[in-house]
A and B are shown apart, each in its own frame.
Chain A
Amino acid sequence: LAKTTQPISMDSYEGQEVNITCSHNNIATNDYITWYQQFPSQGPRFIIQGYKTKVTNEVASLFIPADRKSSTLSLPRVSLSDTAVYYCLVGSLQTGANNLFFGTGTRLTVIP
């Protein structure tokens, strides 16, 4: 079960780019890296997923170095509505959802 380490909290001003780094030293060959966003009293929401190198979608980018032992979620020009908890997960659903460990996440606070 690949566990992750990420900062407990981060603050950022509106309009800035935010980078949240996640360490996953024991990532397995078949594991993917997935990031979720959670607002209070709501279920987590999928943001982005990648295996290696860089992945970009309409809301974020995910940078994964060659050794895959860490990854960085990049949120461009954050707004107040990006204030949430962000979870980094490592694993795949191939053998079950229990392999996706949520951890404590990173609480991002965007300041006006």
Chain B
Amino acid sequence: KAGVTQTPRYLIKTRGQQVTLSCSPISGHRSVSWYQQTPGQGLQFLFEYFSETQRNKGNFPGRFSGRQFSNSRSEMNVSTLELGDSALYLCASSRGEGTGELFFGEGSRLTVL
């Protein structure tokens, strides 16, 4: 079956702009979680959506937001971009319950100039 798809794969923005990233989970998966990965901070949890509701949120400012649609596709938005937002943004899908495993996409690499 098709894996997790993230778009766009690469993008360049300037400070103050906003960006929207998209994630299409594996068919049948109801949970989508988002992560930010930087060399200095490693893989950090942003938030998780389960059946269109935000179930958990990490320790990130309100500039980072997300949503999930009825088909489980998810988007995350970062407003008023800062240089420090440059990172690889990963999404993972899962059934959202039980032991489960996370299936990751290849990520969206954001560069803020």
Contact = CB atoms under 8 A, between A and B. Distances in A.
Nearest to A102: B43
Interface residue tally on B, bucketed by range = 20 to 34
A104 B98 CA distance: 25
A57 interface: no
A87 to B, nearest CB: 8
Interface string A32-75: 10101000011111100101000000000000000000000000
Contacts, number: 77
Interface string B94-107: 11111111111111
B107 A43 contact: yes
A75 B73 CA distance: 35
A100 B4 CA distance: 19
A91 to B, nearest CB: 9
Interface residues of A, number: 24
A92 B98 contact: yes
Contacts of A104: 42
B48 interface: yes
A97 B88 contact: no
B101 A42 contact: no
A49 B48 contact: no
A41 B105 CA distance: 11
B31 to A, nearest CB: 7
B33 A43 contact: no
B50 A46 contact: no
Interface string B46-58: 0010100001111
Contacts of B58: 98
B48 A43 contact: no
Given A92-B100, A103-B42, 4 more contacts: A93-B100, A94-B98, A97-B94, A102-B42
18 contacts: A32-B99, A41-B109, A42-B104, A42-B106, A43-B92, A43-B107, A44-B90, A46-B103, A93-B98, A94-B97, A96-B96, A98-B48, A98-B56, A98-B57, A100-B45, A100-B102, A102-B43, A102-B45
